[in-house]
Amino acid sequence: MSEQQLYDVLIVGGGPAGMTAGLYAGRANLKVAMIERGMPGGQASTTHLIENFPGVESIDGPSLAMIMHKQATDFGCEMITAEVERIENIEGKMKKVITSRGEYLTKTIVLTPGAEPKKLGVPGEDELRGRGVSYCATCDGAFFRGKELVVIGGGDSAVEEGIYLTRHASKVTIIHRRDQLRAQKILQDRAFANEKISFIWDTVVEEIAGENKVEKVLMKNVKTGETSEYPCDGVFIYVGMKPNTDFLTGAENLLDESGYIPTNAKMATKIPGVFAAGDVRDTVLRQVVTATGDGAIAAFYAGHYVEMWTEDGE
């Protein structure tokens, strides 16, 4: 890729927000490319079942991601497989995105890097990752057929993925630090009705232990202080998300104290010509449907910015 080529819109990240922005920018006849380091789809592509996307009764995440990808490319969005390392001159008129495959110039940027699962931060987690520790039930659940698993967390992801794991595991135990779940009631009802799922309340995991593979977790009851061990063959961790904004070195003013990007209703950030959409935004709801809405709005107003950019003279 030559850095002499100038894009109207560069999209950083290939989840639902990024692919929707690519679709809308392409349909607006803008010169647009999306930079994604891996397979398109983001967190949605690791979800085994999506049943709250309007117009689709139910679909697995990877299939929905492939449909979105095709729609974006059919309307002219270029796909670049690369890791974004940093953005230079982000506050200038001509912005430069530095990647593992070269440099790209653009008039506007739509940031849709998404978020990734937070680590628990306990001994054994890193050492046993890939040897029983996982953050993706859809990716790794089939490796645990007939095994006993632990899921850590109490939100939508923990409960939904815990339910999914019962397809493979003989038993799933959800460990939560509170005395009730935070997940949507429909998910709670499904979990409570599932004979393979049990719960350990008011408890945190302090260590994941095993020799070359997960064998047990060491727990503490947060109310009594009592410690105990719980044998298991795998641990799936769902304790929140961390925004993928480490590459924004030098543009920390874009971020809030948690690393997310605040925007206005037009998806515009504090920096002119820079927009953000999807899970990386400071927002109250992070779902596929909200991400796609964000992406459409961001592309629309990026197009407006390009018009003003052109009127001012290139």
Sign of the alpha-carbon torsion through 259, 264, 267, 272 = negative
Q: 84 near 218, Cβ under 8 Å? A: no
- Virtual torsion, Cα 32, 46, 293, 262, nearest 10 deg: -90
Residue 140 annotated as catalytic: yes
For residue 232, indicate whether it is catalytic. Answer: no
> Can you tell me the distance from the alpha carbon of 87 to that of 189, in angstroms, rounded to the nearest whole number?
46
- Which of 8, 74, 126, 140 does the annotation list as catalytic? 140
The whole-angstrom separation of Cα 245 and Cα 261 is: 9
C-alpha 213/C-alpha 222 separation (Å) is: 27
pTM: 0.80
Question: Domains plus CATH for the chain?
Answer: 6-116+241-308 (3.50.50.60), 119-237 (3.50.50.60)
The pLDDT profile of the chain, 314 residues, written as one tens digit per residue, is: 444 689 999 999 999 999 999 999 999 999 999 999 988 888 888 777 788 899 998 898 899 999 999 999 999 999 999 999 999 998 888 999 999 999 999 999 999 999 988 999 999 999 999 899 999 887 789 899 999 999 999 999 999 999 999 999 999 999 999 999 999 999 999 999 999 999 999 999 999 999 999 999 999 999 999 999 999 999 999 998 899 999 997 787 899 998 999 999 999 999 999 999 999 998 878 889 999 999 999 999 999 999 987 766 55
- Which of 74, 126, 139, 256 is labelled catalytic? 139
Task: Say which of 60, 136, 202, 282 is annotated catalytic.
Answer: 136
